[in-house]
Structure formats: C-alpha cells, structure tokens
Amino acid sequence: MDREKNKKKVKKDFKNINGGSGNGGDNEEPEKFAKAKKGVGKGIYKKELEKEIEAEELLEEVELLRKELDEYKKIEDEYIDRTKRLHADYDNYRKRTFREQSEYIKRANKDLIEKLLPVIDSFEKALEIGKGLKSGKDEFFIGVNMIYKKLMDILKNENVKVIDPKGKEFDPQLCEAATTEDVEDVGEGIILEVLRKGYTIDDFLIRPAVVKVCKKS
C-alpha cells in the first residue's frame, strides 16, 4: 500500500512541474514550483548584482590607482626638475671655481714674474755690455746668454709676452712715455724707442713699456 501511494505522489508532482494538476486541465503553477522558480530568479539577479558591484569596485580602484599614479608622476617631475637645477648649480659652481682658480694662478704668476723682471733687465744689460767682448765669443758671455734664453723660454711657455711697441702708435694702457722728441718724417705719437721692455701674461699687464715718443713742437 505504501509503495502504491509513493508512485501516485511522484506522478502527481511530475504533472504539476510540467503544468498539469493531476486532473488534466489545471494550468496554474503549484505553489512549491512557483517559489522554486522565484528563487532561481532571485539567484540570477543576485549574481548579476554582485557582478555589477564588483565591476564598480574595480572601476573605483582603477580610478584611485590612476590618481595615485598622477601624484607619483608629479613627485617624479619635481625630483627630476630639482635634480636638473642641482646639476646646473653644480656645473655653474664648478665653472666659477675653475675660473677663480685660473685667475688666482694668473695673478700669482704675475706677481712672481713681476719680481723676476729686474733680474731679466740685469741679464739684458749684461748681454748688451758683453756683446763687445771678443766679438761675442767669450765663454762667460755665451753662458750668460744661454741662461737668459732658457729663462725667456720658460716665461714664454707661461704665456708671458714682451711688449715691444717701437714704431707703433703710443698706447697709454701698455706704455709709459718717459721722454719725447720731435723727429722729422715721423708722425706724432709714434714710439721712437723702447727704454725698458714691458710684459704681459694672458690678459694681465705685468709692467708697461717705458718709451720715447715723437711729439711735434
């Protein structure tokens, strides 16, 4: 009896799920099947809603990451700009230091050479006097001349130049006029004779040349 009742119940449920009521003409959904169907719909909607929420959260996260990236990009640009400024400042400092050191060395050389000029003048006077000794073949004269030439070669290597303006127009920045003379066929202001040589080193005037200048009376 129980087996027969179970068979009848299964047949009835199957007919109800497929639209039947067991009487053959009833199309209304059973309450259980309607609830099940409604539950399936809620599950699908819930999944779609979860997907939309997840997508929105991902978009928000992407937007947040984009803002963070923009902030890091600004920081990077600031560091790059600061590094460029520091590099430019260091380069300017290096150039300025090199220029100051060069100027200091030039001034030091100028002071040293200025102290040597009286010695050079004495060499030149001695050589001028010694030119008449044994027609310039005296060994002492030859030795002094060799020392003088070596000294002048050293000065030349240090970019020391002799101011020899004879025959040129008088330049007050490089020369001092010690005396004047009126000479025919020579224009006024032309240097007639160099009484004492002048010297320069690079752009520095070590000593002006002392000269005789033509001046018309």
Q: 132 and 64, same structural domain?
A: yes
Both 152 and 166 in one domain: the answer is: no
In a domain, 18, yes or no: no
Residues 192 and 168 in one domain: yes
Residue where one domain finishes, among candidates 139, 158, 177: 158
Integer Cα distance of 198 and 166 in angstroms: 12
CATH code for position 74: 3.90.20
User: Are residue 116 and residue 166 in the same domain, yes or no?
Assistant: no
Q: Is residue 82 part of a domain?
A: yes
pTM value is 0.54
Could you tell me if residue 70 is inside a domain?
A: yes
pLDDT per residue as tens, the chain (217 positions): 444 454 444 444 444 434 444 444 444 445 544 554 455 555 665 677 677 777 787 888 888 888 888 888 889 888 999 999 999 999 999 999 998 888 888 788 888 888 889 999 988 888 888 776 655 567 778 888 899 999 999 888 888 999 989 999 999 999 999 999 888 888 889 999 999 999 998 878 899 999 999 988 7
Cα-Cα-Cα-Cα torsion 128, 129, 135, 139, nearest 10 degrees, comes to -100
Same domain for 72 and 104: yes
Bin 30: left if φ > 0, else alpha if -120 < ψ < 50, else beta.
beta
- Look up the domain containing 190 and give its range: 161-217
Asked if residue 138 and residue 103 are part of one domain, the reply reads yes
User: Among 157, 146, 152, which Cα is nearest to 120's?
Assistant: 152
User: What total of structural domains would you count in the chain?
Assistant: 2
